[in-house]
Structures are given as C-alpha cells and as structure tokens.
Structure 1
C-alpha cells in the first residue's frame, strides 16, 4: 500500500509548563491512530508520520480531536505533506544559507494569506526586519530573533485564523524528515 509522509505542527504546547504534551505520548497517540513511521522533533509539537494519502484537513481534525480526548485541552494542528514542506523551504525569499537559523522563521497558516491581510502593517517601520508571503506561509526575517521582533508582533495582530511559527532549523528538518519517511 502506498503511503505519504506528513508533518503535524501543533500550536502552543509545552510552552512555559502549560498545555503539556510529552513527545513520547504524542508518538504513541499517533501510532494508536494507525499512522506509521511516527517520529517527533523537539518538544514544541512537531511530529512526522505516514498515512495513506488523504485530505490534510481531515488529518488535522482527527489528530486535534485525539489530542483533546487524551490530554484534556484543545490544540490547533496543521498537517502538511512532504511536497508542501519542501516547496516552502525551496521558495524562501531570504538567503537562508547565509543567515543564522534564529533570524529566519516561517509561519504556517491553515488558509491562504494575501498581501491584503497584512496591508495595515507598515513594514518599513520595522526595518531591517522584513517579511514575504508564500503559499499558506509567511517568511519572517528577524535579525535579532523572534523574541525581540516588533514586526512579528504586528504581523501576529494582523493574521487571521490558525497559524504556527517555526524557526528555519525546524523548517528544514521537517522537510528532511518527511523526505526520509515513507514513500512519496
């Protein structure tokens, strides 16, 4: 049976001791749901697994509901396949190879985003910080890191819907892990 590799990006878990989801428990849960080749990356809610090819939204709903049932609180989950993750990494408009990973981030959105969504953000006011839009993604260059980024705050206020951000190391690692998991 042909399988496809996916990454599940959990939003807002294991931050400051709140909404704890141990990665071993997350791996067990995904395995119980019938997914294969389950692996996690870091403690911040990144899981890779294989499944028969299916709709990403259906996977998101299923994983999110299982997490709420198991851990007792809701967690937004975005699921993306390897091809999408690779395309986002390849389309980076900033020179990723010459930047420190803490300087470059990708925010993944549940739905497409457009320039109109962020039209009220005066990007020039935040220079040298900068951002560009991609396919359901926003690339953020924050030379002093995400924690000190004023542009990230402004973009966060302008964003609509479910979104979750990963640093460049994680973006690249998820593309790599999904490439080496299952069959495409």
Structure 2
C-alpha cells in the first residue's frame, strides 16, 4: 500500500468553505483509505491506499467533499515518493531558511516554463522562483504575505485550468515525513 497526501485548495480560509479535519478524516476512511491523518487546518491529509491512480483518488475525494459539504474543493493527491523528490530537488538552501520564507506550489499537471517568461525576475529581487516537476519553488525572504512575486505568480493566466495549491516549507517537510515508508523497528540490544 502506498502512502499519499491529499492537498485541498482553499478551505478553512477566513471561515469560508469549512471542512473540519475530523470530518475529512472520517470521509477518507469512508472512501476505504487507511492510516488516515490530517495536518493543520488548511487541508492536508495523508492516507494509505492500494490504488496507484492519483488522479482517480483526487476525483473521488473531490466528489465526496462536494456531496458531504455542498461545495467544490480542488484536490491534488501525491504519493510520498513524489513529495520526497520535490523536497530533495529544492533549488534554494532550505536548511538555511525559515519555513515561512520558502514555499512550494504543487500543480495538477506539468506547466510550460515559457508561461512564466513574462515575469521579470529582476523586478522582484530578492524574491525568486524556480520550476520543478509539477511544482514551483518560491523564495520570499519577508514571507508570503508581502510578496509581490507571489501575487504575480498566482495570476490564472500563467497556468489556465491547472489546479495549484501552495504549502510553506515546514508543511512540505511534515508531509514528506508523514508519507514516508515505515522503517522496521530497531531490534538492536539496548541492555
């Protein structure tokens, strides 16, 4: 069974589109998933499933949320290996930065790098971004709340019709940890 993270976009923001995490855990369990856990209130859940079809898992979760809560929530589902690979490929010195300074935007599909050519990188320094595998890495030294580059990158015209959801680096690492394969117990002698 593979471990997955479900990344829900735009829930529990300013009291809108409320999805309580306990209800999300129940919903994932009712869908037949195991090892269900949530992280924070912003739409992060992990679960195990024998399926290897991330698109199908995401579509099932989207339909179940719409039926249960009465509103649509775009969802991305990614396996633990992908999440670990995205974290390992970070082009910025993550270990030297605060979690609020580094973000990953996960895309529902590959995004053409040429779409981002119209953003003048020099106009946004010291903020920077780099594209990865269905992901965008964003470095914002003063945090996301004041980032002009984040505003420019969030324009729908850059990736029309593509689901995208962002997580700060602390959440990225926590999701990697939560979806990592279980390590065998240490059976060494501790007498």
TM range (shorter): over 0.9
Q: Which runs of 5+ in 1 are unaligned?
A: none
Structure 1 counterpart of 2:59: 61
Q: Which has the larger radius of gyration?
A: 2
Q: Which runs of 5+ in 2 are unaligned?
A: 185-191
Q: Secondary structure at the match of 1:176?
A: helix
Deviation, structure 1 residue 115? 1.7
Structure 1 counterpart of 2:168: 167
TM-score (ref. length: structure 1): 0.96
CA-atom RMSD in angstroms: 1.4
Deviations 1:94-146 (A, max 9, x none): 00000010000000000102320211111110000000000000000001111
Structure 1 counterpart of 2:179: 178
Aligned residues, how many? 181
Structure 1 counterpart of 2:147: 149
Q: Does the 8 Å CA contact 1:37/1:182 hold for their aligned counterparts?
A: no
Q: Which runs of 4+ in 1 moved over 2 A?
A: 180-183
Deviations 1:148-169 (A, max 9, x none): 1000010111233110000000
Matches within 5 A, 1:88-99: 88-99=86-97
Structure 1 counterpart of 2:5: 7
Q: Does the 8 Å CA contact 1:114/1:133 hold for their aligned counterparts?
A: no
TM-score (ref. length: structure 2): 0.92
Is 1:36 matched with 2:28?
Answer: no
Q: Secondary structure at the match of 1:9?
A: strand
Q: Does the 8 Å CA contact 1:37/1:181 hold for their aligned counterparts?
A: no
Moved more, 34-43 or 46-55: 46-55
Q: Distance in 1 between matches of 2:104 and 2:43?
A: 15
Q: Secondary structure at the match of 1:119?
A: helix
Q: Does the 8 Å CA contact 1:8/1:48 hold for their aligned counterparts?
A: yes
Q: Does the 8 Å CA contact 1:121/1:154 hold for their aligned counterparts?
A: yes
Q: Secondary structure at the match of 2:154?
A: helix
